[in-house]
Amino acid sequence: MSDNTPQSSRVPVVEQLLTANEEVAADNRAQFKSHGTKVVNIMASPGAGKTTLLMATIAAMSHRKLGVIEGDVASQVDADKIATTGTPVVQINTGGACHLDAPMIRRGMQVLPLEDLELVLVENVGNLICPVSFDLGQDVNVGLISVPEGHDKPYKYPAIFEAVDLVVVTKADLLPYLDFEVDTFRELVHGLNPKAPVLVVSAKTGEGMADWIAWLEEQLVDE
């Protein structure tokens, strides 16, 4: 059965959805700010090493009060891993949606002890497209790309590289074994987003972790 609904009557629905999300995101941002809590939205494809990087980050920043919001289509495997560190964590299951949105974050943040947290790390749903379009109320965006994914991703998914404040190449310990050209990747990223630093990191060996932690610490400096 064909859909005879005029195009003009469908477009406002999308606009209203995005507008509603922006309104909630602004409220989220205000609430985070009122608690003095900075928020980092981490976006990447499935298997890029988001949770592994978070675990290493928590260990390296034990002097800071961190919280984590885990976003997945289903399950709480990653949240369970984070919980073993004693870090406050809340799991958000989207039930099929390919991204987190501001209302989901609003519900999740109510579970976290924001008054005690300096930094909240949001692990968005594994996807290089959808999460970019939805403001969560975060302070900064980080994009992760793992070495096995290849250095050509800026060609294929330009929007995420245009939207982030930092790009992290993960699984750097695999560079000797795979055809990932770091210099080429960095040039492609800076062609889209000249201001975004590109860090090369291995949470397994510790390579580049000092630079990643230093960048996070910079975000915690009062403006």
Q: Identify the pLDDT of residue 75.
A: 87
Q: Identify the pLDDT of residue 108.
A: 95
What phi and psi, each to the nearest 5 degrees, are found at residue 120?
-115, 125
Give me 174's structure tokens. Answer: 């695999």
Amino acid present at 3: D
**pTM to 2 decimals?**
0.91
Give the pLDDT confidence of 153-209 residue by residue, as tens digits: 999 999 999 999 999 999 999 999 999 999 999 999 999 999 999 999 999 999 999
Short-list 179, 138, 171, 145, CA closest to 160: 145
Distance CA(88)–CA(65), nearest Å, equals: 9
Half-sphere exposure in the Cβ direction for 84 (13 Å, CA): 9
What phi and psi, each to the nearest 5 degrees, are found at residue 146?
-90, 155
Profile the chain (223 residues) by mean pLDDT over runs of 10 residues: 52 67 96 98 97 98 97 92 97 93 96 97 96 96 98 97 98 98 98 98 98 98 71
Q: Which helix (H) or strand (E) covers residue 9, if one does? A: helix 7-34
Distance CA(16)–CA(32), nearest Å, equals: 24
CATH topology for 7-219 is Rossmann fold (3.40.50)
Q: Identify the pLDDT of residue 19.
A: 82
